């Protein structure tokens, strides 16, 4: 399959009151056409900033892309004046209320996207909006277009946001924690909706969550982030069958197993390091049960085998 997006050595530097740090820090990955790539990692690991960098929306003035390339359909988005945001690349966020105008009916807000990008009349646009809302499981869309965001439930608002993001049939849909703010039942419905989108549209999906069990339900491949760096990229089935990085193994063993509720959950001991003054060598070493002297001194190389990538000294000499 062809590569749709190639992120190469992406580094974003933040200047804050007590110093500066990088997150993401030298991150590289690809998203293929029709592929769903998931990204997981604890809070502050750089997932949202990676997504914002792809969207050309790194928060200024605190944040700045200091290194890297983001190649989309052969063009470097960092050098391209005409960013395809909202058309070929669109994004849904954790809290749809932040992205919706509270004083405008949903139908009007969504139809404006088509009016602005394609010069459609309201009548034509609203027809497409209603059809998209129906496709995304919003019941009675003819009536729902007349309602305001506050009249929607959380789940329906997120469906409306996904409809908005899909209106221009983007090549890439970025979803940053789209289910995190929802309760468990609604969360499951939205995950089902992403699965349906994956099957029925040609859109590639970049799906971000701190929850590996959520990501694993829809992603073909998973990127695991830790403290601004990628520690592993593997196919979803492989990551569960045999996690390579000790951090990935820790994440998997901390997923509650519904069948074995009695088993005590193992969480990874310790906490995420400060990015301003990160540990030397491998950033995960203070929490790693398999650390070796080398891990405290030198940042691990990326080792790869059969399309899997792992940034860990355990694989030195095992993988190339
Ligand atoms: N506007 C900003 N100003 C200063 N620092 C920021 C800003 N936005 C993000 N950061 C910092 O950049 C780092 C990466 O943040 P990011 O939002 O990408 O994390 P994340 O992996 O998405 O975490 P979460 O799971 O909490 O959403 C964090 O340390 C965060 O505090
Ligand atoms: Mg985030």
CA distance 275 to 22: 7
Reading the block at residue 284, the tokens are: 């995960």
The answer to whether 133 and 113 have CB atoms below 8 angstroms apart is no
CA distance 191 to 269: 30
**Per-residue pLDDT for 1 more than 90?**
no
Predicted confidence (pLDDT) per residue in 72-86, tens digit = 999 999 998 889 999
Work out the average pLDDT over 262-285. Answer: 83
CA distance 142 to 168: 20
Q: Which residue has the higher pLDDT, 255 or 153?
A: 153
CB pairs under 8 A, 24+ apart, for 180-189? 180/94, 180/209, 180/210, 180/211, 181/94, 181/95, 181/154, 182/154, 182/155, 182/158, 183/154, 186/153, 186/154, 186/155, 186/158, 187/214, 189/137, 189/155
Predicted confidence (pLDDT) per residue in 165-205, tens digit = 999 999 999 999 999 889 999 999 999 999 999 999 999 99
| Whole-structure pTM value | 0.95
Predicted confidence (pLDDT) per residue in 84-99, tens digit = 999 999 999 988 888 8
Q: Which residue has the higher pLDDT, 307 or 19?
A: 19
291 in contact with ligand 1, CB cutoff 6 A:
no
Supply the pLDDT for residue 305: 79
Supply the pLDDT for residue 98: 86
First to last CA, the chain: 24
Predicted confidence (pLDDT) per residue in 109-140, tens digit = 999 999 999 999 999 999 999 999 999 999 99
Q: How confident is the model at residue 232 (pLDDT cuts 50, 70, 90)?
A: very high
Other CB atoms within a 10 A radius of the CB of residue 195 amount to: 14
CA distance 201 to 45: 30
Task: Report all structural domains of the chain as residue ranges with CATH numbers, in order of start.
Answer: 3-88+168-307 (3.40.50.300), 99-167 (no CATH)
Q: 79 CA to middle of ligand 1, Å?
A: 24
Residue whose Cα lies nearest atom 19 of ligand 1: it is 44
Q: 123 CA to middle of ligand 2, Å?
A: 37
Q: Which atom of ligand 1 is nearest to the CA of 225?
A: 21
**Per-residue pLDDT for 260 more than 60?**
no
């Amino acid at each position: 399959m062809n590569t749709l997006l190639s992120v190469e050595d992406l580094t974003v530097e933040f200047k804050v009151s007590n110093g500066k740090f990088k997150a993401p820090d030298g991150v590289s990955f690809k998203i293929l056409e029709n592929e769903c790539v998931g990204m997981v990692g604890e809070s502050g690991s750089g997932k949202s900033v990676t997504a914002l960098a792809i969207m050309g929306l790194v928060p200024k003035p605190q944040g700045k892309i200091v290194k890297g390339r983001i190649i989309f359909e052969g063009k470097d988005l960092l050098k391209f004046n005409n960013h395809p945001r909202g058309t070929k690349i669109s994004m849904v966020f954790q809290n749809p209320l932040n992205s919706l105008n509270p004083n405008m009916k949903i139908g009007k807000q969504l139809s404006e996207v088509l009016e602005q990008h394609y010069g459609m009349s309201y009548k034509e646009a609203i027809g497409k909006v209603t059809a998209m809302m129906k496709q995304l499981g919003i019941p009675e869309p003819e009536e729902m277009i007349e309602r305001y965001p506050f009249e929607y439930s959380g789940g329906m608002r997120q469906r409306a946001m996904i409809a908005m993001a899909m209106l221009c049939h983007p090549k890439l849909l970025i979803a940053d924690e789209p289910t995190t703010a929802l309760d468990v039942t609604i969360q499951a419905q939205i995950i089902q909706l992403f699965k349906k989108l994956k099957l029925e549209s040609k859109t590639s999906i970049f799906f971000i969550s701190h929850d590996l069990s959520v990501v694993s339900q829809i992603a073909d491949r998973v990127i695991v982030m830790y403290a601004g760096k990628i520690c592993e990229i593997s196919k979803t089935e492989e990551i569960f069958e045999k996690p390579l990085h000790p951090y990935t193994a820790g994440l998997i063993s901390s997923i509650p197993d519904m069948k074995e509720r009695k088993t005590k959950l193992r969480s990874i001991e310790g906490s995420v390091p400060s990015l301003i003054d990160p540990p030397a060598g491998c950033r995960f070493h203070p929490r790693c049960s398999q650390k070796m002297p080398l891990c405290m001194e030198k940042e691990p190389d990326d080792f790869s085998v059969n399309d899997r990538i792992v940034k860990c000294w355990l694989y030195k000499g095992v993988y190339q």
